[in-house]
């Protein structure tokens, strides 16, 4: 795959003596949505933290566009090519505009460059009427769109989403999913979406990784995996028979 942005190679992650994740090899490609599915405790969030370079693997290597991230300098520059959205939007007590502008200002951008990009992102997310609203007064759906705007305004190479719609009502889920789909198409962003919602993975993912007890049990094109899962555990999960 020539458009591989991130690759995990022979990764393991231990907390104390316990191995919570083992990945032989996984690639994440530009312009694709990679769904990471699995029951609670399977290692999904751990995988995101490793990919986001928030944590180091115990063994193995992660490559960003073919370069070992461990040797990549400056590391901050690499981290800034990635953006993450969490289950609960992390916003500060300022206006919607300031929340979205924050990452650009941290990167040294000023004046009209900031406002142009922020306004574009707000328009895209349907948030322009709320640009002067205080972020902490927003509804759950609006707040999550601000969190997404804050990530996408950076035009990241990699967008990491950790259960981004869990707390939302169906209308907001549909809206967020539409925006996530657009995000992967716009700037060739590689989207890595952690979800334990099989239906969401079906609706959004091009590729699916199924994790179970820290192992990649199955991975491949979403359509194939949902139509004919090869592993019994994937099949049970996909058919809603796995209790977790």
Ligand X SMILES: Nc1ncnc2c1ncn2[C@@H]1O[C@H](COP(=O)(O)OP(=O)(O)OP(=O)(O)O)[C@@H](O)[C@H]1O
Residues interacting with ligand X, by CB under 6 A?
Answer: 15, 20, 38, 40-46, 196
Least distance (Å) between residue 140 CB and ligand X: 19
Which is closer to ligand X, CB of 38 or CB of 141? 38
Nearer to ligand X, 127 or 191 (CB): 191
CB of 185 to ligand X, least distance (A): 27
Toward ligand X, which CB reaches closer, 45 or 58? 45
Least distance between ligand X and beta carbon 85 (Å): 15
- If the CB atoms of residues 40 and 171 are measured against ligand X, the closer one turns out to be 40
CA distance 135 to 139: 9
Query: Rounded to the nearest whole angstrom, what is the least distance from the CB of residue 196 to ligand X in the complex?
Result: 5
162 neighbors 86 (Cβ within 8 angstroms): yes
Give residue 146's Cα distance to chain centre: 15
- φ and ψ at residue 86, rounded to 5 degrees: -100, 170
**Residue 15 or 199 having the CB closest to ligand X:** 15
> In degrees to the nearest 10, what's the CA dihedral of 118, 127, 37, 229?
-110
119 vs 242 by CB, closer to ligand X: 242
Q: How far apart are CA 75 and CA 48, in angstroms?
A: 17
> Closest Cα to residue 178, out of 197, 201, 204?
204
Minimum distance from CB of 15 to ligand X (Å)? Answer: 3
Closest CB 103 distance from ligand X, rounded Å:
25
The side-by-side arrangement of strands in the sheet containing 67-68 is 67-68, 59-64, 4-15, 18-29, 215-221, 207-212, 33-37, 190-194, 158-162, 82-85
Name the one residue in this structure whose structure tokens are 């328009």: 123
55 in Cβ contact with 79 (< 8 Å): no
**95-to-99, 142, 160, 193 alpha-carbon distances in Å:** 6, 13, 24, 27
């Amino acid at each position: 795959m020539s458009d591989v942005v991130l690759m995990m190679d022979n990764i393991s992650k231990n907390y104390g003596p316990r191995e919570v994740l083992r990945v032989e090899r996984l690639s994440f490609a530009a312009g694709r949505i990679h769904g990471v599915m699995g029951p609670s405790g399977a290692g999904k969030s751990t995988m995101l933290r490793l990919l986001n370079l928030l944590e180091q693997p115990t063994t193995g290597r992660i490559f960003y566009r073919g370069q070992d991230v461990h040797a990549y300098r400056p590391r901050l520059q690499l981290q800034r090519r990635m953006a993450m959205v969490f289950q609960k939007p992390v916003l500060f007590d300022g206006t919607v505009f300031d929340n979205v502008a924050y990452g650009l200002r941290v990167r040294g951008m000023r004046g009209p460059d900031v406002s142009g990009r922020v306004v574009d992102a707000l328009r895209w997310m349907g948030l322009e009427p709320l640009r002067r609203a205080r972020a902490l007064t927003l509804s759950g759906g609006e707040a999550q769109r601000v969190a997404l705007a804050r990530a996408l305004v950076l035009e990241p190479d990699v967008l990491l989403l950790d259960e981004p719609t869990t707390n939302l009502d169906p209308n907001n889920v549909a809206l967020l999913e539409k925006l996530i789909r657009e995000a992967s198409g716009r700037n060739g962003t590689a989207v890595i979406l952690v979800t334990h919602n099989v239906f969401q993975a079906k609706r959004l993912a091009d590729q699916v990784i199924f994790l179970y007890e820290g192992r990649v049990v199955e991975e491949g094109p979403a359509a194939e995996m949902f139509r004919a899962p090869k592993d019994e555990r994937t099949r049970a999960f996909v058919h809603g028979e796995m209790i977790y």
